[in-house]
Amino acid sequence: MKRIIKVQKMLLEKINSYEGLGEDREYPLDFERIHMASGTGIGHMLAIIRGTDPELTSLACALHDFGRIVTGLQKDHANSAYQPLKEFLTEIGGFNDEEIEIIALAAKNHSSKDSVGTPLEEIVKDADVFDCWQYGIPMTRPEQLKRLEALIQELKPTV
């Protein structure tokens, strides 16, 4: 079984653990589940198009909002992912230190939509805005819209 299945299963269990706690969450747990799964698929396709490692890229996409999942907060959720995500991946097992660092850094950097990171990080950011857009999540920051427009242009076949 591929690691992406195991990681999504473990992340679903993590999300489920917050069910019924009565906390105020900025994003519903159902959105976290849906966004995890569909963002992962978008990331996998973009990895093939752009030539990054599809598994590592889709793993980073699956986990990019880990900070919001564990804190319930949108504010600073990218930064707050870094350490807990490293611990989560270490607990799951089957990842080397370099892979853990790449995935945790992609989560940490994914909110910087106006700067350019590694090709894998760029896919995480693009898959994030594309996935939010398809569900009608409001995107007010100009850099998010710019990124979305560029991605849509990239995906359109050239004649």
Which tokens belong to 60? 């980073």
- Site for Fe ion contains 121 (CB under 5 A): no
Query: Cα separation of 48 and 44, whole Å?
Result: 7
Q: Answer yes or no: are the C-beta atoms of 46 and 126 closer than 8 Å.
A: yes
Nearer to Fe ion, 56 or 63 (CB): 63
Q: Comparing C-alpha atoms, which of 65, 53, 48, 73 is closest to residue 128? A: 65
Query: Half-sphere exposure (CA, 13 Å, Cβ side) for 81?
Result: 28
Among 32, 65, 121, 126, binds Fe ion (CB under 5 A): 65
Q: What residues contact 2, with CB distance under 8 A and at least 6 apart?
A: 55
Q: Which part of the chain contacts Fe ion (CB under 5 A), choosing from 17-25, 44-52, 63-71, 146-154?
A: 63-71
Find the part of the chain contacting Fe ion (CB under 5 A) among 2-10, 62-70, 82-90, 136-144. 62-70
24: CB partners within 8 A, 6+ apart: 72
In the complex with Fe ion, the residue whose CB is nearer, 102 or 131, is 131
Residue from 108, 128, 144, 148 binding Fe ion (CB under 5 A): 128
Of 44-52, 54-62, 82-90, 127-135, which part binds Fe ion (CB under 5 A)? 127-135
Binding positions for Fe ion, rule: CB under 5 A: 65, 128
